[in-house]
Every structure is written in structure tokens, then in C-alpha cells.
């Protein structure tokens, strides 16, 4: 069985001159061959060793997709130490808990933004001895003992290697498949993020099963845009890259992601539902804004009758090219449930899109959809069949559990939570409610979100929310109805698509706050709610009552307010608390609700609508 460091050695032997990685910098794509990647990793690993990093130590990696952070992960693993990827935008408060929990000895970060979040914590982190930064701008004059630049660390590695030429080779030889490969923090949807400890074998065994099943090749071009803190990024980008030796491409910045993806033209792509929903919404927005109705005409025809030759040439192929999708052989969506409308849109567009299911505790992947006629015309929430070696069991409370070669070791420093999540036989509770029949898995809702109406009917809010979010005009929804005889909805509009819609109708507005309260916009959303209510029993179950009342909020749900995780998953309880007065006004039948700031000044007058 291989390890990540042994796979790197294989790539040097088999494809040393092949392009391993590209990074766009100042508008120019810069490439690294596998030989160059290996050299960068070796000097960095020796630099780490010179500063005292040993097998089993933890190294936090904080930043976006830049080559140096990939090198840091590989160098850490080469010494038998454990990389701990954390979100680039995490503030000091968020980082404190994770850095304390994982007992990080080193931190490798991208730039000043992350440095300014880590430095205030140094007094609380006695184990943290080195803070390595890649981008020197704004940091070079900081007077902090632990700070050292990436270049300085590599320079120290060169000196260390000249005096200890066999150290790295000996360290790599000590890394086994059971060695800890990553600590991956959960999103924290239902509470405090926990650090799942996973071995090299956890990732590589399930990665090999995926690569073989999906027929991945070494010639793939992969776009690395997801945060490194996501287990899905570590699986679909890093693990599969190390297994197959294909090329990964890093965008210049988060702001240039879509334009850079068009230049790359990836052949293999993974994204969360909101990524595909954003493209879907943009395409629909372009269609709505076009003076020619050709796009609208062909899109409607595509969804109802399939693509025509003329539509493909005039509309669909140019659309795929515009979004960098023209070379896609396989695309995958996971991390949450994608709506049927969005899924079928991409399938009709000619994109081989498949649903997946995974978690931090499963090394990022449990199941992948097999595309059949049944799958294409089947129910929503289907996330595929288990990968080779993975078993699925539905518990008495309908919770999905799994067991397999990707089963995590436990949560770092938390024996109690580890015991609750994984039993003595290796079965891991996922926290999701689902169904498993005919070797096909279906995910319905989080265990802690399922409840019931006062009538006794099941209340599964995600089903209803996803149906509303299928609209290109709706970005987020939270439906409330626990122990009530009906439900109400808090709706967040998509500012871009609704803004384009409003512009076409010459509706004047100055921002999302004003746009959300426009009569025309409220009516636009009302049409979507009324449409859903006509089929509510198909969506929410045979006894599900319709949405009785709703409001269009004047703001988006916020990560800063704790309403969403860094991976854009909603925290239902926090949203309920933050908006409790609006919710009660909806249930009480009030016609409007005044939103005020901390000084009591009126910010917006929300319309509380009846469906």
C-alpha cells in the first residue's frame, strides 16, 4: 500500500518532466513539473526538520490554492507529520479553538490576512514555534520571533540537507499507510468543529477505488479552487492528483476563479451545489437579459425535449465554452443536495454531472452516482452507490452510518465525541437521515433538523428549501414549522440574477437592501412560493402543509453572524435565534416588520406575505 510521499517518488520516476501544477500570477500561467515540485518539497521538508518538526507533529496550513501550500502539505507528510488545513478567511476567534485543539507546532500561511489572525493568538499557543508565510507583502517588517518567510525556511532546508543528506529519505521510509495523513475539521453545522484524524490509507484506498471506477487518467486537467480546508478538496483535488499524477491548476485569486477556469478548460471537476447553482443562475440571467429570445427559446426546449443540433451549435456549446465547461468529461457535485432543476439543467447541457456523498470522517467520499435512465429520471436526494469496500447501514432513527477503508480514526483530542461517532465495530454515524435500498443511497436531512408539524406529519425543511432554491432568483431559504400547523419561510434573493431581472424592467434600486423590498421583486418570489405550494405534498411528503407565510429578507445570511459555516451550510438554530422576532411576526399574521439597527434607526420595512 502506498503513502502520499511514496506516490511523489513514483511521479518523479515515471513522469518527472510532466506538468504537475500551474498557478496564474499577474495574468501569466506558471508551471511546475513533477521534478520541480519534488525539489521544492524536499528543501521545505528539510527546512521544517531543521526547525525541529518531527513525525506526528501537527502543521496548520491556512490559505487559498497556491503552490507553496501544496508543497507545505507534501513536505509535512514526508516527515511523517500531519497537515491540518484551515480556512483562509478564518478570524482569530475561529482559529483559536482549532489551533489549540490540534496542538499545532507550525503554521504555514499565505499572506498578511492570515498572519494578522494568527499573531494575536501566539501568547495562547505555547506549542506553536514557527509561523511560515508565503507572500511577504505587509509582513516583512513585523517583529515577531516565530515569523519566518517561506524562502528563508527553504534556504535553511538547503543548509540542513548538506549536513544531513539522508534525513529526508529516512523520514519518508518511516511513513506507513496507517500514519496520520490529515486532520480535517468538520464544518460545524451543528456545533463546534471537530478534527477528524485520517490516515494515508483512508484517503488513498478510497481514492484508488474512485479513480478506477470513474476511469480517471493522468492526462486530466483539474481546477483547484475549493478551500483546502474542505475534505472534498483534499479528496477530489489533492488525493486523486497524487494517485494519478494529472495536472492541477490554481486560479490567481478568488475573484478571477470563473475567468481562470475558462482558460484552463478542466476535464474533471468537482463542486458544491452552490457552485453549480451560481452558473445555472448566471446563464438564466443572461437569457433573461438578452434582447434576442434565442437563448430562452433553446433553454426551454433543452429542458423539455432535449438538445437540438442547432441549439447545440448556436447556444449550448458557446455557453459551455464561456464557463470553461467545454472539455469536461465528468463533473461531480456534493457537500449538500443539489436541486433536480439544476442537476437536470447541466445534464441536458451535455455535462456528465454526477451526485456524490462524503464527509470529513470518510476522507471526503462515500458514494458516487451511477448514471442510468433510472438515475436521470428518479427522485431528488439520490447520492449514488457506495464505493468499493464501503458498507452502508441505516440506523433505527433513520441515520446513515458507514464503514469501510475510509473510516476515520477518531476526533483529535476528543475521545468522548469519537466514541459517540464511531462504534467498536467501526460503524460511523454521519448525522444525516437517509434511505438505502437497491444499493442506492438517498440523503434527506440532518438528524437534528428533522422534526414534525403539530399535526404529527414529518417536517423535513431541507426538502422544501431545496425546491425553492431551484429558482435562479432565490439564493437561500430557511423554512420554520416545528410543532406548528403550517410553515413560514425566510427567503434571501440572489442579488445578481434578481438585479439583472430588475434592470431589464427598469426598476430602480441602490442595493440588495432596497431591491429586496421592491413590490415587483416580492411578487416575483411570491410566484415561486405559490408554484411550490401546488406540489408541496410531492416535495415535503403526503401530509406536508403548504408554506402559509414568507418574507424576502433585506440581507444575506452571514458567516460573521454565525448563520452560515465557511462552507456555506446554514446553521438553522442560529438563523432562528437571530430572526426570531421576524418568525414570530410571520406566524402572528403581521403585515410588515420593521428592521432596525443597534441605535433603533429604521433599516428596512419587510413585507410579510401570505401565500
The three cell numbers of residue 480 are 420554520
Same domain? 389 vs 482: no
Same domain? 12 vs 25: yes
Query: What does the pLDDT look like over 66-99, one tens digit per residue?
Result: 999 999 999 999 999 999 999 999 999 999 999 9
Contacts by 591-596 with C-beta closer than 8 Å and gap 24+? 593/551, 595/554
Same domain? 393 vs 469: no
Same domain? 281 vs 412: yes
How many domains does one find in the chain? 3
Residue 596 near residue 558, CB atoms below 8 Å: no
Query: What does the pLDDT look like over 283-326, one tens digit per residue?
Result: 887 776 665 555 555 555 555 555 555 556 667 788 899 999 99
Same domain? 136 vs 18: yes
Check residue 560 and give its pLDDT: 87
pLDDT range class, residue 381, cuts 50, 70, 90: confident
How far is 174 from 179, CA to CA, in rounded Å?
9
Residue 250 near residue 63, CB atoms below 8 Å: no
Query: What does the pLDDT look like over 421-471, one tens digit per residue?
Result: 999 999 999 999 999 999 999 999 888 888 889 888 888 899 899 999 999
Query: What does the pLDDT look like over 494-532, one tens digit per residue?
Result: 998 999 899 888 999 988 989 999 999 999 999 999 999
Judged against a pLDDT cut of 50, whether residue 587 lies above it is answered with yes
How many Cα atoms within 13 Å fall on the side-chain side of residue 234? 34
Phi-psi region of 324 (alpha: psi -120 to 50; beta: other; left: phi over 0): left
> Sheet holding 410-411: strands in order across?
180-185, 195-199, 410-411
Check residue 349 and give its pLDDT: 86
- Would 262 be classed as within a structural domain? no
What's 234's DSSP letter?
Answer: I
**Beta-carbon neighbour count of residue 215 at 10 Å?**
8
Query: What does the pLDDT look like over 8-49, one tens digit per residue?
Result: 999 999 999 999 999 999 999 999 999 999 999 999 999 999
Check residue 308 and give its pLDDT: 59
In sequence order, the β-bridge partners of residue 59 are 83, 106
Same domain? 598 vs 578: yes
Same domain? 414 vs 279: yes
- Would 249 be classed as within a structural domain? no
Check residue 141 and give its pLDDT: 87
- Would 527 be classed as within a structural domain? yes
Check residue 317 and give its pLDDT: 87
Same domain? 442 vs 459: no
Check residue 373 and give its pLDDT: 44
- Would 223 be classed as within a structural domain? no
Residue 503 near residue 520, CB atoms below 8 Å: no
- pLDDT above 70 coverage of the chain, percent: 94
CATH number of the domain enclosing 71: 3.40.50.12780
Same domain? 427 vs 507: no
Of 448, 470, 504, the residue at which a domain comes to its end is 448
- Would 56 be classed as within a structural domain? yes
Same domain? 318 vs 466: no
Query: What does the pLDDT look like over 342-362, one tens digit per residue?
Result: 998 898 888 999 999 999 999
Helices (H) and strands (E) counted in the chain, each on its own, are 25, 28
Separation in Å, CA 130 to CA 23, 58, 88, 220, 444: 26, 12, 18, 36, 44
How far is 154 from 45, CA to CA, in rounded Å?
8
Of 415, 448, 481, the residue at which a domain comes to its end is 448
Q: What is the domain range of residue 389?
A: 268-326+328-448
Check residue 377 and give its pLDDT: 47
- Would 225 be classed as within a structural domain? no
Check residue 604 and give its pLDDT: 86
Same domain? 465 vs 434: no
Residue 42 near residue 157, CB atoms below 8 Å: yes
**Beta-carbon neighbour count of residue 255 at 10 Å?**
9
Judged against a pLDDT cut of 80, whether residue 169 lies above it is answered with yes
Same domain? 386 vs 483: no
Judged against a pLDDT cut of 70, whether residue 376 lies above it is answered with no
Of 448, 472, 498, the residue at which a domain comes to its end is 448
CA dihedral 598, 601, 603, 604 (to 10 degrees): 120
Check residue 374 and give its pLDDT: 46
Residue 83 near residue 37, CB atoms below 8 Å: no
The three cell numbers of residue 536 are 408541496
Compute the radius of gyration of the chain from its Cα atoms: 25
Give me the chain's average pLDDT, please.
Answer: 92
Query: What does the pLDDT look like over 200-209, one tens digit per residue?
Result: 999 999 999 9
How many Cα atoms within 13 Å fall on the side-chain side of residue 514? 7
- pLDDT above 90 coverage of the chain, percent: 78
CATH number of the domain enclosing 477: 3.30.300.30
Amino acid at each position: 500500500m502506498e503513502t502520499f510521499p511514496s506516490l511523489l517518488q513514483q511521479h518523479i520516476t515515471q513522469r518527472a518532466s510532466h506538468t504537475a501544477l500551474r498557478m496564474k500570477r499577474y495574468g501569466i500561467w506558471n508551471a511546475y513539473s513533477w521534478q520541480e515540485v519534488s525539489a521544492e518539497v524536499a528543501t521545505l521538508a528539510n527546512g521544517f526538520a531543521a526547525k525541529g518538526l518531527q513525525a506526528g507533529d501537527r502543521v496548520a496550513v491556512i490559505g487559498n490554492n497556491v503552490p507553496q501550500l501544496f508543497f507545505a502539505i507534501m513536505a509535512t507528510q514526508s516527515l511523517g507529520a500531519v497537515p491540518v488545513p484551515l480556512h483562509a478567511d478564518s478570524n482569530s476567534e475561529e482559529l483559536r479553538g482549532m489551533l489549540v485543539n490540534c496542538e499545532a507546532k507550525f503554521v504555514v500561511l499565505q499572506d498578511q490576512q492570515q498572519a494578522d489572525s494568527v499573531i494575536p493568538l501566539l501568547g495562547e499557543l505555547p506549542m506553536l514555534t514557527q509561523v511560515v508565510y508565503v507572500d511577504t507583502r505587509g509582513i516583512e517588517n513585523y517583529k515577531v520571533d516565530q515569523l519566518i518567510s517561506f524562502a528563508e525556511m527553504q534556504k535553511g532546508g538547503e543548509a540542513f540537507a548538506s549536513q544531513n543528506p539522508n534525513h529526508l529519505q529516512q523520514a519518508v521510509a518511516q511513513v506507513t499507510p496507517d500514519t496520520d495523513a490529515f486532520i480535517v475539521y468538520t464544518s460545524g453545522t451543528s456545533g463546534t468543529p471537530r478534527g477528524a484524524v485520517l490516515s494515508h490509507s483512508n484517503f488513498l484506498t478510497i481514492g484508488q477505488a474512485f479513480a478506477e471506477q470513474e476511469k480517471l487518467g493522468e492526462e486530466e486537467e483539474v481546477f483547484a479552487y475549493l478551500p483546502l480546508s474542505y475534505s472534498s478538496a483534499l479528496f477530489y483535488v489533492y488525493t486523486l492528483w497524487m494517485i494519478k499524477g494529472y495536472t492541477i491548476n490554481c486560479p490567481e485569486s478568488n475573484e478571477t476563479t470563473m475567468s481562470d477556469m475558462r482558460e484552463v478548460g478542466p476535464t474533471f471537476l468537482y463542486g458544491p451545489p452552490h457552485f453549480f447553482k451560481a452558473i445555472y443562475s448566471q446563464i438564466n440571467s443572461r437569457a433573461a437579459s438578452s434582447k434576442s429570445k434565442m437563448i430562452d427559446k433553446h433553454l426551454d426546449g433543452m429542458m423539455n425535449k432535449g438538445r437540438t443540433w442547432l441549439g447545440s451549435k448556436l447556444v449550448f456549446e458557446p455557453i459551455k465554452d464561456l464557463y470553461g465547461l467545454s472539455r469536461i468529461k465528468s463533473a461531480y457535485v456534493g457537500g449538500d443536495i443539489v436541486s433536480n432543476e439544476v442537476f437536470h439543467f447541466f445534464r441536458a447541457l451535455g455535462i456528465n454531472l454526477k451526485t456524490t456523498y462524503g464527509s470529513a470522517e470518510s476522507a471526503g467520499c462515500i458514494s458516487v452516482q451511477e448514471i442510468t435512465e433510472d438515475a436521470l429520471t428518479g427522485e431528488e436526494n439520490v447520492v449514488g452507490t457506495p464505493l468499493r469496500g464501503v458498507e452502508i447501514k441505516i440506523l433505527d432513527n433513520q441515520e446513515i452510518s458507514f464503514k469501510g477503508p475510509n473510516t476515520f480514526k477518531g476526533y483529535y483530542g476528543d475521545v468522548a465525541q469519537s466514541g459517540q461517532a464511531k462504534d467498536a465495530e467501526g460503524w460511523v454515524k454521519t448525522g444525516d437521515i437517509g434511505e438505502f435500498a437497491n444499493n442506492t443511497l438517498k440523503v434527506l436531512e440532518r438528524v437534528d433538523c428533522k422534526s414534525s408539524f403539530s399535526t404529527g406529519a414529518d417536517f423535513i425543511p431541507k426538502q422544501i428549501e431545496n425546491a425553492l432554491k431551484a429558482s435562479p432568483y432565490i439564493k437561500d431559504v430557511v423554512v420554520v414549522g416545528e410543532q406548528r400547523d403550517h410553515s413560514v419561510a425566510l427567503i434571501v434573493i440572489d442579488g445578481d440574477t434578481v438585479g439583472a431581472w430588475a434592470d431589464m424592467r427598469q426598476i430602480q434600486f441602490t442595493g440588495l437592501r432596497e431591491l429586496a423590498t421592491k413590490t415587483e421583486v416580492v411578487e416575483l418570489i411570491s410566484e415561486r412560493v405559490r408554484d411550490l405550494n401546488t406540489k408541496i405534498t410531492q416535495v415535503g411528503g403526503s401530509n406536508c402543509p403548504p408554506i402559509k407565510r414568507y418574507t424576502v429578507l433585506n440581507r444575506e445570511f452571514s458567516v460573521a453572524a454565525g448563520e452560515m459555516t465557511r462552507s456555506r451550510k446554514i446553521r438553522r438554530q442560529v438563523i432562528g435565534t437571530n430572526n426570531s422576532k421576524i418568525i414570530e411576526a410571520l406566524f402572528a399574521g403581521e403585515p410588515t416588520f420593521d428592521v432596525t439597527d443597534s441605535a433603533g434607526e429604521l433599516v428596512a420595512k419587510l413585507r410579510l406575505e401570505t401565500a
